[in-house]
Amino acid sequence: MNSSRLEAFSDGVLAIIITIMVLELKVPHGTELSDLVPVLPVFLSYVLSFIYVGIYWNNHHHMMHAVEKVSGEILWANLHLLFWLSLIPFVTGWVGENHFAELPMAMYGGVLLMAAIAYFILQNRILAVQGKDSLLAKALGKDLKGKASPIIYIIAIIGSFLNPWIAGILYILVAFMWLIPDKRIEIIFRDKE
């Protein structure tokens, strides 16, 4: 089986996740700029989560282009990733509604941590099927960002109980790390042509 069905299904789930998140944004009661202040935490948590979902979509898309064949293990690992990503709307709403309180911020990090672990598992299942000499293996190299992200999430989760802003800054840092274009897979494919 090739990866096109898996990628199409994943794209659909990610689109639904974003839709659910945007539906949680409530229209303010009033027409003044000051009326936006009460909904600002919900909006900011939405923006960060939208960026995270976009990062996962982008990286998943690039990774699937390096996949030559899909096994049952890869399908289940992909579902595992989608499960954790599907919890992002819940923790996003919880964080926003509670103005970045300690426990919601820690749970937000917990979901991000589990999604990162699930992505790592998916990546490794793909590498197990494709082999150590596959295009994906060459493109990933040492994968420093992939290894650093879970460590930063753990620090952020712990930090959220000291000060939720520590967690927020670290979550933004990881998102920024991944927003910097990662051309490894594109370069490998371009060099192959």
Q: What is the pLDDT of residue 191?
A: 61
Terminal Cα-to-Cα distance of the chain (whole angstroms) = 23
Residue at token pair 């992505």: 119
Q: What is the pLDDT of residue 186?
A: 67
- With H, G, I as helix, E, B as strand and everything else as coil, classify residue 158: helix
DSSP 8-state class, residue 70: -
Q: What is the pLDDT of residue 138?
A: 78
Counting the structural domains of the chain, the total is: 1
Distance CA 52, CA 57 (A): 9
- With H, G, I as helix, E, B as strand and everything else as coil, classify residue 175: helix
| Domain range for 36 | 4-192
Gyration radius (Cα) of the chain, Å: 18
Which stretches in the chain have pLDDT values below 70?
A: 1, 181-193
Residue at token pair 């995270």: 52
